[in-house]
Structures are given as structure tokens and as C-alpha cells.
Amino acid sequence: MEIITTVERLQEVAMRERAAGKTLGMVPTMGALHEGHLSLIRRAHEENDVVFCSIFVNPVQFNNAEDLQKYPRTLEADVQLIGDLADYVFAPTVEEVFPVAPTEVYDFGPVANVMEGAARPGHFNGVGVIVRRLLEWVRPHKSYFGEKDYQQIAVVKEMCRQCRILSEIVPCPIVREPNGLAMSSRNRRLSVHEFETAANIHRILEASKQCGTVQEIKTFVESEIGKIPEFQLDYFELADAETLQTADTLDNPHGVMGFITVYTGPVRLIDNVKY
Ligand code: PAF
């Protein structure tokens, strides 16, 4: 594995591998890697000749300075975990990626305006800014994203459509802790007690599958989350699995999903469930 820190070298090796007829897989991450990331990297390894993994805490997608400052940075441990699963790890500085502050303003349409888009203004624009750059520099055949950030996948697909980026976007299933909590780099910030409490998010979503209607599901989830004093619900939305617009009925050709964001102490955790 080669660790790359410059965009010039990144483009050089990617172009060389492509010219040699290799298929390229890309896994963009912000580091603090866990089994969820490793499942993406393993899949990229299985499906491509050459794997690129980026580790970059992208400042322009944070709309909260404290969240950016507290975001875990564990490059050495990340590189150890990746081992031989990736051929290239791109770990640049902020100045390397953004020699000047980016000014792009996208309109990713309805998929980007609801839920995380509404709760975190500018977040998806920042995701679009970095993912576009990474995919244009590497030009991977396939790029891998985890379904914990389900809405992010819809936004990235829309960005690729608008910017004519031809990489196939491959959604990968959520990986969970043994207690059911969706794996996230932010889980490291939970105390032992908060970590155990946070397992209730998945438990409640799973239990809500017993409800018969959208209204029953909403009432059930909101009341069950409300019973746990450590939790503060940001939102729980039922939405069309493709358009991500509010679903009024479970009878929907694309399927309906529940999307939840809960503060557990200071940590914002997100999860989703398919009905
Ligand atoms: O999902 C993430 O970790 C980030 O949003 C991504 C896709 C690496 C862009 O910074």
C-alpha cells in the first residue's frame, strides 16, 4: 500500500492503473475507521483490481465547529486496519485539497433538502464539493458508500448525474455493533453507558416494524425514544426510499424507510430502517 498526500501523485497513479487496463474502486472516508468502513474496502477489493481509500476530514461539510474539532483523527491506526485491502491511501492536508476555499454552490434538488439537508445547512453541498473532487481525480469505475448515510448516497448519485461523473455508486449495508448500534466514527465519543443506551435506537426502529400504518410508526418511535432520558430526538421521518420525500402511506412502489437522528449526550447519531 502506498500512502499518497498530493493530488498530483493521486492522479498520476490512478491514470497509470487505468491505462494498464485495471478496474479502479474508490472508498471515500473521513478516517477513524471501523468495521463499517472495512466492509466497504473489502467489497471494493473483491470487485476491483485496484482500490483507493481516501482519509480526509472534510471541513466544508461540517456546519458545527465543535463537531469538526472533535471529529476523531487516527491516521496511523487507520492505515494499520486497511493493511493490504487498499493499494493506495490518499491522506492529504486541507491545503492540498483546497488551495483556496471552495465556492461551488450546488442544487441537488429535493433529495438534498429534507432531513439531514434541512437539519445541517450546507452539509450536502460540502459533501458534493469533496466527493466530486475525489471522483474526478481518481476516476474510479466504482465508488462505495455505506447505507447508514442513506441520504448521502442519494445526494452523491445526484451530484454524479449533474456533473456527468460516470463512476458507479455502490451502496453497502449498515454494519452494526453486537448490541445493534449502527457503526459510526462518532460512537467513539460515547461513554460506556451512552453506548449501551444508544443500542435502543435500532431496537426501537426494529420494533416499529410491527406497526401497521405510517402514523402508528411515527407515534410509536417518538414515544419510545421519548422514554429514554439520555436521548433527544432531532427528527424521525418516514420517506419514500428513492425520492426521500415524506411518505404518507406504507403502500409505496419504491418502499418506505424510517430515518432517525438522535442526540445521545452531545453525540448526534443517525440510523435508518426499511419497512
Ligand atoms: O460519509 C463520509 O464519511 C463523508 O461524508 C465522505 C463521503 C467521506 C465525504 O467526506
CA dist 168 and 48 (Å) reads 12
pLDDT for res 10: 98
**pLDDT-based confidence at 127, cuts 50/70/90?**
very high
Q: What is the DSSP letter of 96?
A: H
For the segment 190-233, what is each residue's pLDDT rounded down to a tens digit? 999 999 999 999 999 999 999 999 999 999 999 999 999 999 99
- What is the distance in A from the centroid of ligand 1 to the CA of 214? 30
**pLDDT-based confidence at 68, cuts 50/70/90?**
very high
pLDDT for res 52: 99
Q: Does 61 contact ligand 1 (Cβ within 6 A)?
A: yes
pLDDT for res 77: 97
217 touches 211 (CB < 8 A) = yes
- Quick one: average pLDDT of 9-25? 98
Instruction: Ligand 1, residue 146: give the atom nearest the CA.
Output: 1
Instruction: Ligand 1, residue 127: give the atom nearest the CA.
Output: 9
E runs forming strands in the chain: 2-4, 24-29, 50-55, 88-90, 142-146, 168-172, 231-240, 256-264, 267-274
Options 34, 37, 141, 254, the catalytic residue: 37
- What is the distance in A from the centroid of ligand 1 to the CA of 29? 5
**pLDDT-based confidence at 170, cuts 50/70/90?**
very high
Residue 88 makes CB contacts below 8 A (sequence gap 6+) with 1, 2, 3, 4, 10, 13, 14, 50, 51, 52, 53
Instruction: Ligand 1, residue 156: give the atom nearest the CA.
Output: 7
pLDDT for res 56: 98
Q: Does 55 contact ligand 1 (Cβ within 6 A)?
A: no
- Quick one: average pLDDT of 142-148? 98
112 touches 124 (CB < 8 A) = yes
pLDDT for res 218: 98
pLDDT for res 117: 97
pLDDT for res 35: 97
Supply the DSSP string of 186-243, one letter for each residue.
GGGGS-HHHHHHHHHHHHHHHHGGG--SHHHHHHHHHHHHHT-TTEEEEEEEEEETTT
226: its cell numbers: 421519548
Torsions phi, psi for 15 (to 5 deg): -65, -40
Catalytic annotation on 254? no
8: its cell numbers: 498530483
pLDDT for res 48: 98
pLDDT for res 196: 97
**pLDDT-based confidence at 1, cuts 50/70/90?**
very high
pLDDT for res 157: 98
- Quick one: average pLDDT of 3-27? 98
Radius of gyration of the chain (CA): 19
- Quick one: average pLDDT of 12-36? 98
For the segment 225-275, what is each residue's pLDDT rounded down to a tens digit? 999 999 999 999 999 999 999 999 999 999 999 999 999 998 999 999 999
